[in-house]
Structure 1
Amino acid sequence: MPSDDPTEASRRDVPPSGRVADAVAGHWADRLAPRGWRPYLRLARIERPVGWWLLLLPCWWSAALAATAADRTGPNLWHLLLFLIGAVAMRGAGSTYNDIADRDLDARVARTRSRPLPSGQIGTRTAAVFLVAQMLVGLCVLLQFNGTAILVGMAALLPVAIYPFMKRVMPMPQAVLGLAFAWGALMGWVALFGRLDAPALWLYAGTIAWVVGYDTIYAVQDIEDDEIAGISSSARLFGSRLILAVGVCYGAAVLLMVPALRLAGAGALGWLGLALFGAHLARQALRLEPRDGLGALTLFRSNRDAGLIFFLGLAADSVWQGLIGA
C-alpha cells in the first residue's frame, strides 16, 4: 500500500543522481564534486547560483553608489570581494535554515521535494551543523568592516530568521524576503561611510520592490502545489492580476531608486544603467505567463543580468566621475 508520508513520497521522486529539480543543468556541483560533498553543496544552493547573485548585487550597487557620492574613482574592490564571499556564505546559510524549517512543506511540493532534507540525502542535525559553519564564514567576513556596518549586518538576521514561517501566516511572504535580500543595498554604503544616509535608504526601498517582483515570478512555478499544500505566496495572492502586480513592483523599484541616484550625485552612466535595468524588468513583466513554470524560472534567473547591467552603469559612472574630478 502506498505510504501517506510526504517525506517517503518525496524520496521516491528524487532522481538517482540526487539532483535538485530546479538546479542548473550540468552544474559542476552535481558532476565533479566528490559524492559526499554534493548534498551539502545542494543544501547551500551552490548549483543554483542565481540566489547568491541576487543577494550580492544590491551590495555592489550600494558600494558603487557610495563611491560616486564620496568622489572615489570606482567602488572599493576589497569591499566587492568581501561582499562576494559573504553573499555565497550567507545565501547558503539562509537556504540551509529555510530548508530545515520547511522540510515538511518541501516534501509536499514537486519542485522542492528533491531537496537534500525532504529527500533524505542529509539529516536535520547534520544540516544544523553545516548551517553554523556557514554562518561563521559570514561572521568572519562581516568583522572586516567598520563597527556600524557590523551592527547593520547583524540586524539582517531578523528578517532572515522569520521569513520561513511567514508563508504560514501571511498572504505575501515575499515582502519579508524583500527585507532580507535587499539588505545589501544598505551594506555597501555603510561600509564606506560608517553611517546610513538617504541614498542608501532609497536604494533599499527600491530593492525590496525588485525582490518582491522577481520572487513573485519565481513563485509561479509552485502555484498549483502551493494551493494544494496551503502555502501562501504573492503569485497566489495576485492571481489573475499577476502580470500587472509584477509590473507595479518593478515600476516601483525603478522609481524608488531615482532619488537614491539623484541624492548621491549620479551622472549620465549611472542613469543609463538604471534605465537599462528598468527596460530589462519591463521585458520580464511583458513576457510572463501565469501558468508557465519553466518560463518563469528563466525570467527569474535573468534578474542576475538585469542587476549586473545596473551595477556596471553605477560602477562606470563612479570611475568616470572620479577621473574627470581628479
Structure 2
Amino acid sequence: MNSTTTSTASDIRPNHWVLRLAPQGLRPYLRLARFDRPIGTWLLLFPGWWAIALGDAVTNSGPSWPLYLLFGVGALLMRGAGCVVNDILDRDFDAKVARTASRPIPGGEVSPLQAGLFLLALLLVSLAILLQMNGLTIALGCASLLLVFPYPLMKRITYWPQAWLGLTFNWGALLGWTAVTGSFGWPAALLYIGGIAWTLGYDTIYAHQDKEDDALIGVKSTALRLGKATKPWLRVFYALTLLLFGLAGQTAGLLWPFWLGLSAVALHFLWQVAALKMEVPGDCRAKFESNRFVGWLLLAGILAGSPWVHAWIGITS
C-alpha cells in the first residue's frame, strides 16, 4: 500500500451489517457504492424529501408516500453511482491517502472496467425509477448527470469543490417539488440554494479529515482554503442555510410549528460549530455525520407546519 500518511483511519467498515449479510463476491461492490456508509445517502435524500413535503403542503393534498419511497431508493442508487464515478476517476489519488487506500479499486478488488459496468447497472435502475414520474421531473433527473460526472474533477481545479457538491447533492430539492407540483416554484429554489450553503458547511468539516494528505498530493478543498478561519465561515454557511430554509417555508405557507423545527436545526448548527475539533479526524467525521439530524429536524418541522397535517388532526390555526 502506497500511503502518504497514516493520520486518518481507513473508511472501510468491514463489520457493517450490510457486508456481513452479503455474499462474499458482492461485498467489494457494496463498499464501492458506500452501501455500508449510509450517511451520504441520507444527505442526498433529505433535500428531496423536504421538497416533497413542501409540495404536499402547498397543494394541501396529503402525503405523497409513493414519492418518498421512490426517492429513497433513487437516492441510494444515485449516491452509489456518484461514488463509483468518484472512485474510478480518483483511483490514483485514493491509493496515496491512508483513509481511502483500501477502497475496492485502489485495493485491487474491483477493476475500473468492472466498476464501469456496475455504474451502468446503477444508472439503468435509477432511470427506471425516474421514469415513474412526470416529464419535467424526468428531464431534471437526467440533467443531474451533468453535475454528477464532473464532480470528482473539481478538487483538481478549484478550492471550492464543496460548492459543486452542493449543486449536485441538493438537486433533489428541485426534483421533489416538481414531482409533486409538476412545475417550478420559489420554495424549491430557496430550498435548493439553502441546501448548497448547508453542504458547504458539512462537507468543509468532512474535508478537514484529509487536509494533510490533500495538500501533499495536490488536490484542493475548502478545508485547505479556509484553514483556521473555517469556524467563522461555517457560521456564515449555516446562517445562510437557516435564512434560505426559513424563506422556503414562509413562501410555501407553512404554519408556526415549522419554525420550531427550524429553531432546532439552528441549535444543532450552533453545537456543531462550537464543539468541532478540526484537528481530530474522528471528530470531524462525527460532526459531519451528525447532519442527518438536521435532515430529520427540518423534515419534522415541514410536516408539522403543513396545513394538511393540521386539518388531519383537527387543529385550527
- TM-score calculated relative to the size of structure 2: 0.94
Unmatched tracts of structure 2, length 5 or more: none
Partner of 1:5: none
Asked whether the equivalents of residues 207 and 222 of structure 2 are also in contact (C-alpha less than 8 Å), the reply is: yes
Corresponding residue for residue 67 of structure 1: 56
| 1:46 aligned counterpart, secondary structure | coil
By how many angstroms is 1:30 displaced?
Answer: 2.9
Partner of 1:16: none
Contact 2:155 2:220 in 1 (8 A): yes
| CA distance in structure 2 between the partners assigned to 1:131 and 1:218 by the alignment | 25
Find the counterpart in structure 1 of residue 11 from structure 2. 22
How many Å separate the matches in 2 of 1:58 and 1:240? 30
In the alignment, which of 37, 42, 58 is matched to residue 48 of structure 1?
Answer: 37
1:29 is displaced (CA, Å) by 2.6
Matches within 5 A, 1:229-308: 229-308=217-296
How many Å separate the matches in 2 of 1:23 and 1:276?
A: 32
Tell me, in whole angstroms, the C-alpha distance in 2 between the residues paired with 1:64 and 1:273.
14
CA distance in 1, matches of 2:304, 2:116: 41
- Secondary structure in 1 matching 2:25: coil
Which deviates more from structure 2 when the two are superposed, residues 138-147 or residues 271-280? 271-280
Alignment match, 1:102: 90
Contact 1:61 1:310 in 2 (8 A): yes
Moved more, 47-56 or 283-292: 283-292
User: 2:295 and 2:256 mapped to 1: Cα distance?
Assistant: 18
Q: For residue 78 of structure 2, what is the aligned residue in structure 1?
A: 90
Alignment of 1:71-220 (within 5 A): 71-73=60-62, 75-220=63-208
Q: How many Å separate the matches in 1 of 2:186 and 2:237?
A: 21
Once the two structures are superposed, what CA deviation does each residue of 1:23-46 show, in whole Å capped at 9, x if it has no partner? 457311332221111100000100
Identity %: 45
For residues 167-206 of structure 1, the C-alpha deviation after alignment (integer angstroms, 9 at most, x for no partner) is 0001111000000001111111100111111110000000
Q: Distance in 1 between matches of 2:51 and 2:261?
A: 14
2:21 maps to: 32
Distance of 2:277 and 2:180 partners within structure 1 = 41
The alpha carbon displacement at 1:322 in A equals 4.0
- Please tell me whether residue 225 in structure 1 is matched to residue 218 in structure 2: no
1:58 aligned residue (35, 47, 52): 47
Q: Is the 8 A contact 2:204 2:223 kept in 1?
A: yes
Change (3 A) 1:295 1:167: same
Most deviating of 59-68 and 275-284? 275-284
Return the match for 1:9 from 2, 17, 32. 2
CA contact (8 A) 1:277 1:310 kept: yes
2:33 & 2:224 partners in 1: Cα distance?
Answer: 27
CA distance in 2 between partners of 1:248 and 1:221 (Å): 21
Amino acid at match of 2:285: L
Structure 1 distance, partners of 2:194, 2:59, is 21
Separation (CA, whole Å) in 2 of partners of 1:239 and 1:49: 28
Residue identity in the other structure for 1:290: M
SS of 1:118's partner is coil
Report the residue type matching 2:127 in the other structure.
L
Q: Read off the aligned partner of 1:198 and give its amino acid letter.
A: W
Aligned-pair Cα RMSD in Å: 1.6
Equivalents in 2 of 1:194, 1:325: separation in Å? 29
CA deviation profile, 1:239-272 (whole Å, cap 9, x unmatched): 1101111121111111111211111001122221
Distance, in Å, in 2 between the alignment partners of 1:305 and 1:257 is: 15
In the alignment of these two chains, the number of paired residues is 310
Are the structure 2 counterparts of residues 294 and 310 from structure 1 closer, same or farther at C-alpha, using a change threshold of 3 Å?
Answer: same
